[in-house]
Amino acid sequence: SADFFRADNPEGVEARNEVAALAFEDMISWMQEGGQVGIFDATNSSKERRNMLMKLAEGRCKIIFLETICNDRNIIERNIRLKIQQSPDYAEEPDFETGLQDFKNRLENYEKVYETVNEGSYIKMIDMVSGHGGQIQVNNISGYLPGRIVFFLVNTHLTPRPILLTRHGESQDNVRGRRIGGDTAISEAGELYSKKLAKFVGKRIKSERAASIWTSTLQRTILTATPIVGFPKIQWRALDEINAGVCDEIKKNMPEEYESCKKDKLRYRYPRGESYLDVIQRLEPVIIELKRQRAPVVVISHQVAVLRALYAYFADRPLNEIPHIAVPLHTIIEIQMGVTGVQEKRYKLMD
């Protein structure tokens, strides 16, 4: 109950600090095994608690405090109601209003001891959740990874919008059974899919005039997008299929390389070409830009590496699964981004 979170409840304070220390040690152990960024999800709203964490982290990891400040009462009320609906804290409370009042009492207990962050390295995001204005304050942030964290946060928002992922229509190489590489046109079936896709996109996002269509620079994706009208089209070299170097028909012509690739598809780098990990790295600016968009985006690209990696990012799939994710031809995967997380729908337009 809310009484557990009172500052004048010594048993509650001791229990919360003990759990915080255990969780922090757990996270440090994970970072020592190779983790790079850990999110220590707690209120940490007093200087005393933050000093405790800085002492625990000393000589072991760098701490950046992230404080979000929201002055919009409507957003706060919405978030509180979402909390009651989704939090395990209230899973066994049958009465919504009782849970709501208890949580508001808990917030009052936090407010009594709240002290804004002004020590150490910190990022303050002030009224940024609505996506209209707001500001970000940064203090004592240096180094590559902290800089990337700031860049990520600046571009993150909770505006609900769909991202539609699809492969290009069937290509001439698909018909011939060639698995990777090349820059062929689409087949008759591919042309039929391009028309069906245009019809689907026209219905799905017709009212979203700020929507856009993204393709790779290879003609099979550009041709697939051609029948779609009314939206800007952007070509990204970063969305090009994995570069197979000199091995575009690796199984037939280079059996030893094919066996090496089969053993570790994630890390295997084609001679004079790329690995899956290389493609994931080049997709970072695409992902950041996708997260920054407030209107729908249709991404027409390639199964090998690109769409597998994008889908894995938004669906939170493990790194090692990426080379084995199936992205079927002539199918749209809709990723819905919003305040409650990521939801997925699939639409098969052709067999």
* CATH code for position 255: 3.40.50.1240
More confident residue, 118 or 132: 118
3-class DSSP assignment, residue 162: strand
* Adjacent-strand bridge partners of 121: 64
Token pair belonging to 69: 């400040």
Same domain for 265 and 320? Answer: yes
**E-only strand ranges, 85-232:** 121-126, 135-139, 161-167, 212-215
User: Model pTM?
Assistant: 0.79
- Print the SS3 string covering 197-259: HHHHHHHHCCCCCCCEEEECCCHHHHHHHCCCCCCCEEECHHHCCCCCCCCCCHHHHCHHHHH
Same-domain check for residues 115 and 209: no
- What's the number of domains the chain is made of? 2
How does residue 247 score in pLDDT terms, banded at 50, 70 and 90? Answer: low
Report d(CA 216, CA 133) in Å as an integer. 32
**From CA 309, how far away is CA 332, in angstroms rounded?**
16
Same domain, 222 and 106: no
Active-site pick, 11, 33, 41, 111 = 41
The residue from 119, 135, 155 where one domain ends is 155
**Active-site residue, selected from the candidate residues 61, 67, 70, 334:** 70
Please tell me the distance from the alpha carbon of residue 57 to that of residue 28, in angstroms, as a whole number: 8
The one catalytic residue in 157, 168, 302, 330 is: 168
Domain shared by 106 and 168, yes or no? no
pLDDT of residue 119: 92
- 131 and 36 fall within a common domain: yes
HSE-up (13 A, CA, CB side) for residue 186 = 25
Exposure string of 173-203, with b = 16+ CB inside 10 Å and e = fewer, is: bbeeeeebbbebebbebbbbbbebbbebbee
Report the percentage of the chain scoring pLDDT > 90: 66
pLDDT reported for residue 93? 87
77 pLDDT higher than 70:
yes
Task: Give yes or no: residues 131 and 253 share one domain.
Answer: no
Among 170, 173, 240, 241, the one annotated catalytic = 241
158: confidence class by pLDDT, cuts 50, 70, 90? confident
Q: Which domain holds residue 184?
A: 162-348
Say whether both 125 and 193 belong to one domain.
no
Rounded Cα gap, residues 51 and 63, in angstroms: 11
* Residue 168 is a catalytic residue: yes
Q: Would strands 212-215 and 341-348 be described as parallel, antiparallel, or unpaired?
A: unpaired
Is 70 exceeded by the pLDDT of residue 307? yes
**What is the rounded CA–CA span in Å between residue 141 and residue 148?**
10
Question: Quick one: 196 and 113 in the same domain?
Answer: no
Q: Which of 173, 160, 99, 109 is nearest to 130 (CA)?
A: 160
Instruction: Give CA–CA dist 46/235, Å, rounded.
Output: 48
321 C-beta neighbours (distance < 10 Å), count: 12
Regarding whether 323 and 186 lie in a shared domain, the answer is yes
Same domain, 13 and 127: yes
Q: What is the mean pLDDT of residues 233-238?
A: 97
Same domain, 181 and 144: no
Evaluate whether 287 touches 313 at the Cβ level (below 8 Å).
yes
Cα–Cα distance for residue pair 330/350, rounded to 1 Å = 6
**199 and 332 part of one domain:** yes
Average pLDDT score, the chain: 90
Give the model confidence (pLDDT) of 309-341 as tens digits.
Answer: 999 999 989 999 999 999 999 999 999 976 667
pLDDT at 248 over 60: no
Residue finishing a domain among 140, 155, 170 = 155
pLDDT at position 294: 87
Of residues 184, 304, 186, 179, the one with CA closest to residue 253:
179
Whether residue 61 lies in the annotated active site? no
pLDDT score of 292 more than 90: no
What tokens were used for 179? Answer: 């698995």
Structure tokens at 79: 């978030």
Stronger pLDDT, 246 or 187, i.e. the higher one? 187
Which one of 133, 155, 177 terminates a domain? 155
CATH code, 119 = 3.40.50.300
